[in-house]
Amino acid sequence: MGVKNYRDLIVWQKAMDLVILVYQFTDSFPQKEVFGLTNQVRRAAVSIPSNIAEGQGRNSNRDFRHFLSIARGSLQEVETQLELARRLGYLREDDLINISEVSCEVARLINGLSRALKEP
């Protein structure tokens, strides 16, 4: 792969955008959730670009794909937790739709990069 730095990866950039959105939306969660759902969804969101960066720093496409798989799992964790937040009334439907659009884009980029890294 011709990328010298994870920061050059569009998937990493979009995943960082998702983290910012998660932080912004979770700012309005109830105070009682600071050590619960707020913390959990933020940690899962941060895990997405972190695993992309770590995987890109590895020496093999196979390792990179493994970390992309972990990032994909964290993304699904974020989506689940945000749906729970919506059901609990902590997140408005239109906010969930906005963040879901970014989430879907990140998922497509992770899947595309993972396919591109498959050994011939």
Output the CA–CA distances (angstroms, integers) from residue 118 to 60, 96, 113, in the order listed: 11, 33, 9
Q: Where are the alpha helices (DSSP H) in 1-120?
A: 10-26, 39-56, 61-87, 93-116
- As a whole number, the mean pLDDT across the chain is 95
Give pLDDT tens digits for 18-38. 999 999 999 999 999 999 999
pLDDT at residue 87, rounded to an integer = 97
Overall residue count recorded for the chain in this entry: 120
What residue ranges of the chain have pLDDT lower than 50?
none
The fold of the 6-116 domain, in CATH, is de novo design (two linked rop proteins) (1.20.1440)
